[in-house]
Amino acid sequence: MNPTIGIIGVGHLAGYIVAGLMGTESPPRVLLSPRGAANAARLSEKYGLDVAESNDAVVDGSDVVLLVTRPDDLLTAVSNLPWREGQTAISLAAGVALSGLQNGIAPATAVRTLPITAAKIHESPTCLFPENAAARALFEQLGSVHVFDDEETYDLASIQGVVFSVFHAGIQSIAGWMEESGLDKDTARELAARALRATGGMVLAHPENDFDSMVAEYATDGTLTLAALQELRKNGGLSGWPEALTAALNRNREVARDTL
Ligand SMILES: NC(=O)c1ccc[n+]([C@@H]2O[C@H](COP(=O)([O-])OP(=O)(O)OC[C@H]3O[C@@H](n4cnc5c(N)ncnc54)[C@H](OP(=O)(O)O)[C@@H]3O)[C@@H](O)[C@H]2O)c1
């Protein structure tokens, strides 16, 4: 039987998670916190979900509770709620360490995840720390689940969420150029997005190929690919990635220090 899913922190990300859950074959019962009132009312009306009277009532009425507040609010939000054994509290907040969370929700079991908004279309790669059957079962319905058994590696892997969001700007840049060069806006948007989705699909479909050979396969002498790649390399369009991801990881570590 489907567990009842409670949500504390009914904001931007929670809206996408709820939409994803409601699009599964067998949608679970979802019980929303009354905070984030406008969003809770919108989701309740759209999907016929219950809005609880309080966070206490969310914990009381749920088997699994998703914690989707901002990192700074998380530990305050979970304290003094009627947590019980056998319950799972899944944090979706970036940077909040498991140990502090576990203290706040005992005797329930705490885990950390970092799904992305693509959960709505069941394509979220979701990092999970540590392994947990309830969290895995939930997020496998919303995409793929990647389990880590140490927290430092989990935090590092979670930076994939930044890649996802930053690539929106990449698609914007590509589609913008196509449009300026003469394609109509909708065609440019669709082609840029589909090209990037196809790239990811091929990389996943061919784990036997290393990246050098994949790039070399397309960037042979005289090709359009080589011309474009040389220009990107000249302009730092690729070499900027390591610095950008390091900046995101460092920011994540600052959040972790602030929430200790
Ligand atoms: N947005 C993303 O794409 C994304 C992606 C990955 C991870 N995350 C993580 O998801 C978390 C939420 O991000 P978000 O963008 O969804 O934030 P958000 O839109 O600001 O939503 C946070 C929600 O938490 C509620 N809240 C705050 N304190 C609460 C409390 N004590 N009890 C119940 N609810 C409380 C707020 O309600 P009020 O409005 O009433 O204050 C608000 O509705 C963050 O920790 C972030 O690291 C987000």
What digits encode the pLDDT tens for the residues 151-165? Answer: 999 999 999 999 999
Cα torsion 23, 25, 31, 34 to 10°: value is 0
54 contacts 40 by C-beta, under 8 angstroms = no
Looking at residue 2, what is its pLDDT? 87
pLDDT band for 96, please (50, 70, 90 cuts). Answer: very high
Q: Residue 64 and residue 20: Cα distance in Å, rounded? A: 16
Task: Give the distance (Å) from ligand 1 centre to CA of residue 174.
Answer: 31
Is the pLDDT at 141 greater than 80? The verdict is yes
Amino acid at 235: N
Count the residues in the chain: 260
Task: Give the distance (Å) from ligand 1 centre to CA of residue 84.
Answer: 23
Smallest CA-to-CA distance from 98 within 57, 26, 148, 161 is with 148
Looking at residue 260, what is its pLDDT? 59
If phi > 0 it is left, if psi is from -120 to 50 it is alpha, else beta; for residue 11 that is: beta
- List Cβ neighbours of 184 (8 Å cut-off, separation of 6 or more): none
118 contacts 164 by C-beta, under 8 angstroms = yes
Domains in the chain, please, with CATH?
5-149 (3.40.50.720), 160-249 (1.10.3730)
- Atom 27 of ligand 1: nearest residue by CA position: 69
Task: Give the distance (Å) from ligand 1 centre to CA of residue 35.
Answer: 10
Mean pLDDT computed over 116-132 = 98
Q: Residue 143 and residue 252: Cα distance in Å, rounded? A: 23
pLDDT band for 112, please (50, 70, 90 cuts). Answer: very high
CA–CA–CA angle 15, 20, 25 (5° rounding)? 145
Is the pLDDT at 71 greater than 70? The verdict is yes
Is the pLDDT at 256 greater than 80? The verdict is no
Q: CB within 6 Å of ligand 1 — which residues?
A: 8-14, 33, 35-36, 39, 55, 68-71, 73, 76-77, 92-94, 114, 116-117, 161
Instruction: Dig out the tokens for 12 from the structure.
Output: 């931007």
Neighbours of 19 (CB within 10 A): 17
Looking at residue 255, what is its pLDDT? 77
Q: What are the pLDDT digits (tens) for 46-63?
A: 999 999 999 999 999 999
Looking at residue 259, what is its pLDDT? 64
pLDDT band for 166, please (50, 70, 90 cuts). Answer: very high
Looking at residue 226, what is its pLDDT? 96
Q: What is the DSSP letter of 236?
A: T
Q: What are the pLDDT digits (tens) for 237-249?
A: 899 999 999 999 9
